[in-house]
């Protein structure tokens, strides 16, 4: 294990993985409490359209993906708040449209790009020093901003109308949440891929929810579980020569089902006592 983390690419993978794990875990708390899991799927797949557009225009695909995903996130929020559609319907609309745009942009580029399709599945072992620096700057900023509105987001997750009546700036907090999630998803897709990043927006908190009931404990346990899944997934992917992103998510899945079984057994024991 010591030799493993003496390798430069594994050090970068571990550092980047831990940064993303903490961020995804924090978002997963509000995603689970708000029953908002489909939003991660919608925004992550909208990022694919941005990545494809970046390659078509010859611009930085990550930057274009951030802008693209941010606009889509705001539009989802706007339609949900101003229209007559539920969030899931708005997400479904943009999910299909942005994926179609991504495929269209690929066709217009007239060439197959390995890097482009790498965004679908991720490759945490290919993280560069530049990628790590960007993540090290962005991740703490988003984390601190999320903590600064933690109570408001928690209030919003349970009852938006009561939160508004209590003086919470519901609109700005809601749109901030969507924007912050969009940025987090885009910087995460290079690690675990567009297809898998939505899982890490759900699994940590879903697992912790089986173990604890208090919300502060839910946050910290979500972070711990995400970190464990990332480290264990990286190690297994290296030694077993498996896809790193998929292995991290599968480990997180094993943790979830283990916690679910634990909760079920504990509930049964309490009922029989």
Q: Percent of the chain, pLDDT > 90?
A: 14
Arithmetic mean of pLDDT over the chain: 83
Contact 20, 193 (CB under 8 A): no
List, for residues 64-106, the tens digit of each pLDDT value: 888 888 888 888 888 877 766 677 777 888 888 888 888 888 8
* Residue 198 pLDDT: 81
Q: How far is CA 17 from CA 114, 122, 157, 159, 180, in A?
A: 22, 12, 27, 33, 18
Segment 52-61 mean pLDDT: 83
Predicted confidence (pLDDT) at residue 4 exceeds the cutoff of 70: no
* Residue 254 pLDDT: 95
Angle (nearest 5°) at CA 178 between 204 and 145: 75
* Residue 1 pLDDT: 54
**20, 59, 12: which is closest to 185 by C-alpha?**
20
Residue, of 55 and 18, whose pLDDT is higher: 18
What is the CATH superfamily name and number for domain 4-272?
A: ABC transporter involved in vitamin B12 uptake, BtuC (1.10.3470.10)
* Residue 115 pLDDT: 63
Domain residue ranges of the chain, discontinuous segments joined by +: 4-272
* Residue 112 pLDDT: 58
Q: 123 falls in which pLDDT band (50, 70, 90)?
A: confident
């Amino acid at each position: 294990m010591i030799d493993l983390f003496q390798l430069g690419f594994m050090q970068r993978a571990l550092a980047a993985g831990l940064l993303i794990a903490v961020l995804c875990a924090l978002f997963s708390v509000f995603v689970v409490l708000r029953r908002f899991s489909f939003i991660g799927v919608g925004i992550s797949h909208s990022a694919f359209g941005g990545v494809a557009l970046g390659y078509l225009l010859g611009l930085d695909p990550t930057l274009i993906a951030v802008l693209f995903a941010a606009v889509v996130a705001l539009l989802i929020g706007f339609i949900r708040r101003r229209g007559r559609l539920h969030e899931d319907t708005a997400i479904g609309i943009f999910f299909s449209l942005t994926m179609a745009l991504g495929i269209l942009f690929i066709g217009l580029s007239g060439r197959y790009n390995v890097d482009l399709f790498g965004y679908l599945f991720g490759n945490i072992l290919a993280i560069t020093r530049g990628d790590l620096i960007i993540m090290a700057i962005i991740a703490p900023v988003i984390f601190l901003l999320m903590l600064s509105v933690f109570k408001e987001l928690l209030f919003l997750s349970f009852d938006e109308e009561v939160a508004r009546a209590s003086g919470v700036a519901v609109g700005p907090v809601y749109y901030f949440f969507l924007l912050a999630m969009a940025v987090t998803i885009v910087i995460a897709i290079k690690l675990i891929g567009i297809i898998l990043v939505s899982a890490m927006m759900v699994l940590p908190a879903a697992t912790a929810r089986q173990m604890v009931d208090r919300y502060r404990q839910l946050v910290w346990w979500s972070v711990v579980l995400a970190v464990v899944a990332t480290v264990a997934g990286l190690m297994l992917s290296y030694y077993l020569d498996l896809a790193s992103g998929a292995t991290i998510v599968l480990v997180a899945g094993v943790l979830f089902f283990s916690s679910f079984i634990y909760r079920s057994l504990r509930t049964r024991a309490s009922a029989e006592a």
